[in-house]
Homo-oligomer: A and B are copies of this chain.
């Protein structure tokens, strides 16, 4: 994926493509450097569903372990899903999920790293999105009204734009 550093200067749009045609921006001249990104999000659900998830009573099995694997695997396939993302071989990825009982939700954090010409924000976000989809799938027999929200980048480092923190 591109971390938006392909345009000059940051904050303005270059008009390389007058016609607005979708393309994968050129990052060939950028150096391959260490980059990381962390994203978060949550899924909120009705108490019985959250209870069953916590107690390991879901018909489909362990939701958090399954979602973690799903998120990691999806991160590796980000460039297949997001059309204009550059393919980036990840050097490190983590997905964490934990139950926030008071807010009646499961929170997910995804982290990705690479040593490449472009950032890994999309990989971190994709990990979170697919992990949360997987929790939905595991719990939907008990609650169809679950809602996913708060999906956002929380930090990134590396590349010309340097470190960014929410």
Contacts and interface: CB of A to CB of B under 8 A. Distances in A.
A27 interface: yes
Given A59-B14, A82-B133, A84-B138, A145 B122 contact: no
A52 interface: yes
Interface residues of A, number: 94
Contact of A83 (B10, B24, B26, B134): B134
Interface string A5-30: 11100110111110011111111100
Interface of A: 1-7, 10-11, 13-17, 20-28, 34, 41, 52, 56-62, 65-66, 68-70, 72-74, 76-77, 79-96, 113-117, 121-122, 125-126, 129-130, 132-134, 136-138, 140-142, 144-153, 156, 164, 166
